[in-house]
A = this chain, B = another copy of it.
Amino acid sequence: MPRTDPAEQSRSRRERILDAAFSAFAQRGYRDTAVDDIASAAETSKGGIYFHFPSKEAIFRELMATTADKLVARVERAVALETEPVARAEAALRTVLATFAGHRTMARVLFLDLAGAGRAFQAETNALHARFAQLIRGYLDEAVATGAIPALDTDITSVVWFGALNEVVARWLLDDAPEPLEDTYPALREVLLRSAGVPEARIRRGGVPDAGSVPDAGAGAERQGAGAERQGAGA
């Protein structure tokens, strides 16, 4: 097949562009992928792309949406095979893991901040996450050692804790009119302690202490003594 293979040609150009964009975004991220890159990977031209799509962003959005749809459909199919609720939850979990395992690229597009930065930062951020997870792990190991909680995989548990915290905070950050973040503490605490095998009795005893023991949050400014945390307005 020299060029313009008919079978290949029949898959409309639009599809070829989408495929090319998909793997380009997954490999280099949105910002670092130029429309020209997509064009050449799809064996077309920039003009050809802008004939089919109004903007680079539109390509990305379409990709996100259809990819997510596919994953959701897959999960729902797997879940439908089970009837018992816990088994259904397990099936969902297992399916997501198995799907990503077989489609690393798909995972990249959906989970990594594809929207975002270059490799260097990705690694940096990852190291930061690892650092916090390690901190948590230390406390968990300690708890295991003293018998406060049963022996368990503290590696994964710490990752779960960090991931959960990360998500809770991110969600609060992106909320336009967020409730106070601390309000989530009691429920989050309960879930996380339970995940680490803390006995129910111990969980129910002692929610949030009335005061003290948390160093002055909300006091001093963000950085040093300067005028940080200024509102959106200023220059």
Inter-subunit contact B111/A115 (CB<8 Å):
no
Report the copy number of this chain in the oligomer. Answer: 2
Chain B residues near A5 (CB, 8 Å)?
A: none
Which residues of B lie under 8 Å from residue A82 when comparing CB positions?
213
A-side interface size class = 35 or more
Whose C-beta in chain B lies nearest to the C-beta of A229? B105
Contacts of A84 in B (CB 8 A): 148
In the complex, A157→B94 CA distance in Å? 18
Which secondary structure characterizes the binding site on chain A?
Answer: helix
Interface set of A (CB-CB < 8 Å, partner B): 11, 15-16, 18-19, 22-23, 27, 30-31, 40-41, 57, 60-61, 64, 68, 72, 74-75, 77-79, 81-82, 84-108, 110-113, 115-118, 120-126, 128-132, 135-136, 139-140, 142-143, 145-146, 148-149, 152-153, 155-157, 159-174, 180-182, 184-185, 187-198, 202, 206, 208, 213-215, 217-219, 222-230, 232, 234-235
